[in-house]
């Protein structure tokens, strides 16, 4: 479902498009129900998108214990295969459930809703989704999150926002990770920020190193602040 379809006039082609539209509209209906349910629980859910290897899991390993000092947190890990990331997070004391997509390149609203119906997700105030590493497909699928966050590492190239604008267009914030490696890579932070702001002006961009801890407090404060903002709006959709 992640490939674009050509513009042939074949009936089969049109049928594929209409099936895709049905899948998306069913997905969006479930996502809306999820948002309604989370608002009812007074919980906040953030959907983290990134390319593979951008440092999402390490960032969560460092950030979540800080959040958990005063808020119950649970994590949904999306991966094509393996349970490695969820196990890593469970070792730092957080409830984490892995959803393996078995080849699918994104999580969908139905899979997320099933996990949210179980403890400890029912009592979590912040739910973090670490989506499948991919900047294209997950950007198109609403899973019922309140906000999207994009993580981009300095090892990837500062032109990512121009290449994958959809991920940044729908985000509420961006993180540039692994900044401790800046002396060793040719990554222009200013150029990257300009690229992000061309797609999404005024998007908050946080610079962060999970290795040195630089920027971690700001990231945790952002997440806590977004939760508090939502908690003040009981009928938020």
CATH class of this structure's domain 11-231: alpha beta
CA distance 131 to 214: 24
- Structural contact between residues 166 and 140, judged by C-beta atoms closer than 8 angstroms: yes
Q: Is the pLDDT of residue 3 over 50?
A: no
Q: Is the pLDDT of residue 196 over 90?
A: yes
Burial group, residue 113, by CB count within 10 angstroms (0-12, 13-18, 19+): middle
What ranges in the chain are assigned the alpha helix state H? 11-41, 56-67, 84-91, 109-116, 137-140, 160-163, 165-169, 189-199, 216-231
Q: How confident is the prediction for the chain on average, in pLDDT?
A: 90
In this prediction, residue 237 has a pLDDT band, given cuts at 50, 70 and 90, of very low
- Structural contact between residues 55 and 177, judged by C-beta atoms closer than 8 angstroms: yes
pLDDT of residue 236: 44
CA distance 203 to 39: 24
Q: Is the pLDDT of residue 140 over 60?
A: yes
- Structural contact between residues 163 and 192, judged by C-beta atoms closer than 8 angstroms: no
pLDDT of residue 62: 95
| Both tokens assigned to 42 | 């007074």
* SS3 call for 121: helix
pLDDT digits (tens, 9 = 90+) for 53-97: 999 999 999 999 999 999 999 999 998 887 888 999 999 889 999
Print burial letters for 89-105: b (CB count within 10 Å at least 16), e (below 16): bbeeebbbbbbbbeebb
Q: Is the pLDDT of residue 208 over 50?
A: yes
């Amino acid at each position: 479902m992640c490939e674009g379809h050509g513009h042939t006039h074949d009936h089969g082609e049109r049928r594929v498009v209409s099936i895709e539209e049905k899948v998306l509209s069913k997905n969006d209906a479930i996502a809306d129900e999820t948002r309604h349910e989370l608002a009812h629980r007074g919980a906040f859910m953030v959907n983290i998108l990134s390319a593979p290897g951008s440092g999402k899991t390490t960032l969560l390993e460092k950030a979540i214990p800080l959040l958990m000092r005063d808020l119950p947190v649970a994590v949904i890990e999306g991966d094509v295969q393996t349970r490695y990331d969820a196990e890593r997070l469970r070792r730092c004391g957080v409830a984490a459930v892995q959803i393996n997509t078995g080849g699918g390149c994104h999580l969908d609203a139905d899979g997320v809703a099933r996990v949210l119906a179980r403890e400890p997700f029912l009592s979590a105030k912040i739910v973090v989704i670490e989506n499948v590493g991919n900047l294209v497909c997950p950007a198109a699928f609403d899973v019922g999150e309140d906000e999207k966050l994009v993580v981009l590492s300095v090892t990837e190239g500062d032109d990512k926002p121009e290449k994958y604008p959809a991920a940044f267009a729908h985000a509420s914030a961006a993180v540039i990770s692994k900044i401790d490696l800046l002396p060793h890579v040719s990554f222009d932070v200013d150029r990257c920020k300009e690229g992000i702001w061309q797609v999404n002006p005024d998007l908050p961009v946080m610079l962060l190193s999970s290795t040195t801890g630089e920027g971690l407090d700001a990231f945790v404060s952002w997440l806590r602040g977004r939760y508090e903002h939502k908690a003040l709006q009981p009928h938020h959709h």
